[in-house]
Structure 1
Amino acid sequence: MDIVDTHCHVISEDRARYPWSPLGGKASAWAASRPVTADGMAARMDEAGIAQSVLVQATTAYGYDNSYVTDSRARRPDRFLAVGTFDPLAPDATARLGAAVGDGRLAGVRLFTSGSTVPEQGEWFAAPQTYEFWHAAGVLGVPVCLQMRLGPATRRLVEVLERFPDVRVLLDHLGYPDIAASPGRAGKEVAELAAHPGLYLKLTHRNLEPLRDAGEEAVEFLAPVVESFGAGRVAWGSNCPAAEQSLPELVGLARGVLAPLPASARAEIFAGTARRLYPALAGSGR
């Protein structure tokens, strides 16, 4: 099976060349305890049967300095694309976005509005000061990965999707719906967002683990989400090495949870969606 990993992180061993400056001022525990270099990630990909990966900036290590993911992409364009963390509130955001994607350094950008080291959900991603950025992302065709938690801020996400319908927004970790509490309720919450055609879902271990644990009830989440969005708007990502499992184990987790879906849907989730979101991946895999 063709597999593209849309969400993995790399950390350099060279702290002098790539100094840490984590967003929120605090580095994530995984970045220090189980870092993986770009070369190490390529080796793990070989073990897991993954053709290509999207290196998503390790925001809780490097903040807005995307040097390591872009350098890694430049060294191994056959295996990697780079998605960099971006500040849409910066005065020169539109020009910087055009420059970063225009020379091929970045295939997409990520807005980090909440996470393990930034526990309070920010709503700044929808502020009027970001409108020029969102407009430019739509014009340039740049996918925007949005790290956020569904809940009170969902209304702000909807505002962005309605105001900028041409932008493709890829929701990291599906927005952390509470699958463990109620797969059915969480599935309904996510499925309602399918009305916005620019929204795509990134399915990772943070969702797959509670779905595995839900057993037969997992279908109560998967069925409405896949039916409403279509598999062509869902992409798998490992979240390696933030996830504690090995990359082959993470692939196995996804295969197991998604086994009830038709083969055509699994093909979309494991690779097809990613290759449409990031056209530079097409035809350059091993």
Structure 2
Amino acid sequence: MSVVIDTHTHAISSDKQRYPLAPVGGHQSEWSAKRPTTYEALLDSMDAAGIARAVVVQASTVYGNDNSYVVEAVRSHPDRFAGVFSIDVLADDAVSQMQRWLDAGLAGLRLFTTGSTMPGQAGWLDDERSFPVWDYAQRHGVSICLQMTAQGIPALLNMLSRFPDSRVLLDHLARPDLAGGPPYEAAAPLFSLASHAGVFLKLTNRTIAEAARGASTSEAFFPRVLDAFGAHRIAWGSNFPAAEGALPQLLAQARESLSMLPADALDAIFGGTARTIYPQLRA
């Protein structure tokens, strides 16, 4: 079995004095209050699941743009973790903040434009104030992870026209509506991104649940995505512990849901693609 890399985990400290709550939007996410998981506990879960390495993604609905706990996780276990940080990309010092977290050892940037505490799609994705950050990321090969909905795809296309060499990773495939089933007309905005070589897909528990909703099935949807994007642009992420269930269970569910795909594609989705998105994982 090939090495498994999880591209989407979160870690929550038990020390609220050292790592105070500062959630984006002012409201802590329900999952982080119910299922807080330290990076030590995350490691134990990875070991139980047989996951070699994981990307710890900043929990914006817990810590906002203070990425200190992600830094601690990566510094404590650089052989197991890579880290993704968040910043205010509209701030005057956004590039300096980006350099700060990269210098601290983190591997990529996350833009949080919607989510559990921000249900609507934010309109600032293609705000010109963010252009310096996108320019820096493009010039230095820094991947940008996007927590967004399909409503944000027109803004993303605008950014890709300005920064065509950007490498972006869409959390949960940008949450497409798949319930109508084949030929997936409602997901046309997602498939419109296939021609952009720098667009990668993060396939998570949310994607798996959506692919089985309504008239859709995993057997219909995932081969379609594979055909459009190629396995070298699709990476699995558990979304643990935001996703309910134990990490071994989440991995097993993902393997079962993708079992119709060829073995070489599965090797890429469950490990190989992650190394392209975050080169630090090659070490």
Q: Is the pair's TM-score, using the shorter chain for normalization, greater than 0.5?
A: yes
Residue matched to 1:128: 128
How far did 1:188 drift? 4.0
**Aligned residue in 2 for 1:87:** 88
CA displacement at 1:14 relative to structure 2: 0.2
> Given the superposition, is the C-alpha separation of residues 183 and 16 from structure 1 closer, same or farther in structure 2, using an over 3 Å criterion?
farther
Per-residue deviation, 1:198: 1.2
Partner residue in 2 for 1:175: 174
Where 2:145 maps in the other structure, the secondary structure is strand
Q: Secondary structure at the match of 1:190?
A: helix
One-letter identity of the residue aligned with 1:89? L
Distance in 2 between residues matched to 1:276 and 1:132, nearest whole Å: 23
Task: Give the match for residue 16 of structure 1.
Answer: 17
Counterpart AA for 1:162: S
Aligned partner of residue 201 in structure 1, secondary structure = strand
Which residue of structure 2 aligns with residue 65 of structure 1? 66
**TM-superposition CA deviations, 1:232-267 (whole Å, max 9, x none):** 001000000011111011101110111110000000
Displacement of 1:195: 1.1
Cα distance in 2 for residues equivalent to 1:85 and 1:253: 29
Q: What pairs up with 1:245-284 in 2 under 5 angstroms?
A: 245-283=245-283
Partner residue of 2:56?
55
* Partner deviation per Cα, 1:160-181 (whole Å, 9 max, x = no partner): 1111011101011101111234
Residues 215 and 178 (structure 1), Cα distance of their counterparts in 2 relative to 1, 3 Å cut: closer
TM-score calculated relative to the size of structure 2: 0.95
Q: Is the 8 A contact 1:187 1:222 kept in 2?
A: no
Tell me which moved more, 58-67 or 184-193: 184-193
Equivalents in 2 of 1:22, 1:167: separation in Å? Answer: 28
Secondary structure in 1 matching 2:36: coil
Q: Residues of 2 paired with 1:216 and 1:158: CA distance? A: 26
2:187 & 2:242 partners in 1: Cα distance?
A: 24
- Kindly indicate whether the alpha-carbon contact (under 8 Å) linking 1:162 and 1:196 is maintained by their aligned counterparts in 2: no
Q: Secondary structure at the match of 2:125?
A: helix
Higher-helix-fraction structure:
1
Task: State the shift of 1:119 in Å.
Answer: 1.2
* C-alpha spacing 1:104/1:160, structure 2 compared with 1 (3 Å): same
User: What residue in structure 1 maps to residue 26 of structure 2?
Assistant: 25
Closer, same or farther in 2 for the Cα pair 1:121/1:188, shift >3 Å?
closer
CA 1:46–1:214: 2 relative to 1, 3 Å: farther
Give, in whole Å, the separation in 1 of the partners of 2:130 and 2:216. Answer: 42
| Distance in 2, Cα, partners of 1:194 & 1:10 | 31
Q: Percent identity?
A: 47
CA deviation after TM superposition for structure 1 residue 53, in Å = 0.3
Q: Which runs of 5+ in 1 are unaligned?
A: none
Other-structure match for 1:166: 165
Contact 1:88 1:125 in 2 (8 A): no
TM-score, normalising length: structure 1: 0.94
**Residue of structure 2 in register with 1:74 after alignment:** 75
Instruction: Tell me: CA distance 1:124–1:262, structure 2 relative to 1, closer, same or farther (3 Å).
Output: same
Residue number in structure 1 paired with 2:194: 194
Structure 2 unaligned spans of 5+ = none
In the alignment, the residues of structure 2 paired with residue 43 and residue 183 of structure 1 have an alpha-carbon distance, to the nearest angstrom, of 40
Within 2, Cα distance between the matches of 1:99 and 1:35? 26
SS in 2 for 1:55: strand
Q: How many residues align?
A: 281
The whole-number CA distance in structure 1 between the counterparts of 2:216 and 2:88 is: 41
Letter of the 1:34 partner, please give it.
R
Could you give the per-residue CA deviations for residues 148-171 of structure 1, whole angstroms, max 9, x where no partner exists?
0002x2210110111101110101
Q: Which moved more, 1:38-47 or 1:104-113?
A: 104-113
